[in-house]
Copies of this chain bind each other. A is one copy, B any other.
């Protein structure tokens, strides 16, 4: 049985989980891979009591791993951008395959890294970068190979989903965020999670692997959940919708939509039922229709599970000396399309609008006329006399699908009306059809 040597860079949460699962399930992993997968080197700045490194060469310098001629696969788990990029480029230059859980690295530097890896004939695998332990990259690149993928929508940040789930009980964002921080679900600086940056990294990767377009993280639109209110959550529910922080990528003829924002989704759709810290990715292929992939999007061993699945895939290549490859982004480089991310003005969506109006006759007619002039059809409208406060009443409108520029124009006009107070709240809405 061929021995395949693994070097792990970084022994934090995911590194530790990966190491421990590789050890605990060595028999299963050998049985599945047909190779003797051995961690022969680890680079870490801090040793951990819960990890037994007996028999493993340990050093502080990650380049000891990359420069060890015996290492077949470098596992990059140090995180971050620049140091990780340099590490991976060095590993590629040394002819080593790379497995990483670093979505930021792939989303931002992936085009460069894949290009370098392609020239060297080595693999970069990144299943663990999206949706943790859920094998969604494999599903997209391989399981969906027959399909033209039309769109992808994912709950791909557990922190955000936890907060929105808890807010359904009527709690405020700030209150739940504090709790999430206490529970360790959210960082001290939660920006990365709650403002959608982490989700945009993952969405960028999903879109490229699904559509065969270059990674364009810098063009992704992100809107966080910090402005979502229990009021809007409750009223969305009354209209048959739930608010989720979704990453949405849609392939259009002239480009792709790439956007992360709070989204109303139909309550009876399966993705609306995905609660707490869990992740789910829904995709639509022209042959298969909608499929969904669900599970833990984070955690030491769940993410380690995806890292190891990649290691096994790559180990099979190493052991068989095969030139067989799944293309980095699903499509062979020459089959990639240079489709650009569309500006938000060109995005197509339905919308939930909450308008604070003066409670007097004719206001509704004015609102309807502004929308109509912009070519926006109303799907449903809700206004409750019981909600009148200081002579003002909230008017909630669900629109049909239109272009975002139409809604922007309508909102500008609405906010200019003397009968409208303050800003119009706008939440995008997806019906998945």
Measured CB to CB, the residues of A under 8 A from B are 17, 21-22, 24-25, 27-34, 127, 132-135, 138-139, 141-148, 212, 270, 273-274, 285-296, 299, 301-302, 304-309, 312-313, 316-317, 319-320, 322-327, 330-332, 335-336
Contact at A309–B144, with CB atoms within 8 Å?
yes
Q: For A270, what are the chain B residues with a Cβ–Cβ distance below 8 Å?
A: 270, 273-274, 294
Q: Separation in Å of the A412 CB from the closest CB of chain B?
A: 40
Contact at B324–A324, with CB atoms within 8 Å?
yes
A290-B295 contact in complex given A322-B323, A324-B322, C-beta closer than 8 Å: yes
Q: Give A148 to B24 CA distance when docked, in angstroms.
A: 10
Q: Give A316 to B145 CA distance when docked, in angstroms.
A: 12
Contact at A313–B142, with CB atoms within 8 Å?
yes
Closest 8 interchain pairs by CB?
A: A135-B143, A31-B335, A146-B308, A291-B295, A133-B288, A322-B322, A288-B305, A320-B324
- Most B CB within 10 A of own CB, among A143, A274, A323: A143
Copies of the polypeptide in the assembly = 2
Instruction: Identify the closest chain B residue to A269 (Cβ).
Output: B273
Q: For A326, what are the chain B residues with a Cβ–Cβ distance below 8 Å?
A: 316
Contact at B335–A324, with CB atoms within 8 Å?
no
A291-B133 contact in complex given A28-B148, A146-B29, C-beta closer than 8 Å: yes
- Most B CB within 10 A of own CB, among A127, A142, A148: A142
Q: For A306, what are the chain B residues with a Cβ–Cβ distance below 8 Å?
A: 143, 146, 288
Known: A320-B325, A322-B324. 17 other contacts (CB 8 A): A21-B146, A25-B148, A27-B335, A28-B146, A31-B212, A31-B336, A32-B145, A32-B327, A32-B331, A32-B335, A133-B289, A138-B139, A142-B313, A146-B308, A270-B273, A287-B305, A288-B306
Q: Give A336 to B134 CA distance when docked, in angstroms.
A: 25
A305-B25 contact in complex given A133-B291, A313-B142, A320-B324, C-beta closer than 8 Å: no
Contact at A145–B292, with CB atoms within 8 Å?
no
Contact at B21–A145, with CB atoms within 8 Å?
no
Instruction: Identify the closest chain B residue to A294 (Cβ).
Output: B292
Q: Give A304 to B147 CA distance when docked, in angstroms.
A: 10
Q: Give A315 to B230 CA distance when docked, in angstroms.
A: 52
Q: Give A332 to B34 CA distance when docked, in angstroms.
A: 6
Instruction: Identify the closest chain B residue to A308 (Cβ).
Output: B146
Q: Give A29 to B327 CA distance when docked, in angstroms.
A: 12
Ordered by A's residue number, 10 sampled pairs between the chains whose C-beta atoms are within 8 Å are A21-B146, A31-B332, A33-B145, A34-B325, A135-B291, A139-B139, A139-B293, A142-B312, A144-B309, A287-B304
Contact at B289–A296, with CB atoms within 8 Å?
yes
Q: Give A136 to B147 CA distance when docked, in angstroms.
A: 16
Q: Give A61 to B286 CA distance when docked, in angstroms.
A: 32
Contact at A145–B291, with CB atoms within 8 Å?
no
Q: For A285, what are the chain B residues with a Cβ–Cβ distance below 8 Å?
A: 133, 305
Contact at B287–A25, with CB atoms within 8 Å?
yes
Contact at A291–B32, with CB atoms within 8 Å?
no
Q: Separation in Å of the A416 CB from the closest CB of chain B?
A: 44
Q: Give A308 to B273 CA distance when docked, in angstroms.
A: 31
Q: Separation in Å of the A309 CB from the closest CB of chain B?
A: 5
A317-B324 contact in complex given A143-B135, A304-B287, C-beta closer than 8 Å: yes
- Most B CB within 10 A of own CB, among A25, A146, A212, A286: A146
Q: Separation in Å of the A187 CB from the closest CB of chain B?
A: 22
A294-B296 contact in complex given A302-B289, A331-B32, C-beta closer than 8 Å: no
Q: For A144, what are the chain B residues with a Cβ–Cβ distance below 8 Å?
A: 135, 305, 309
Q: Separation in Å of the A433 CB from the closest CB of chain B?
A: 15
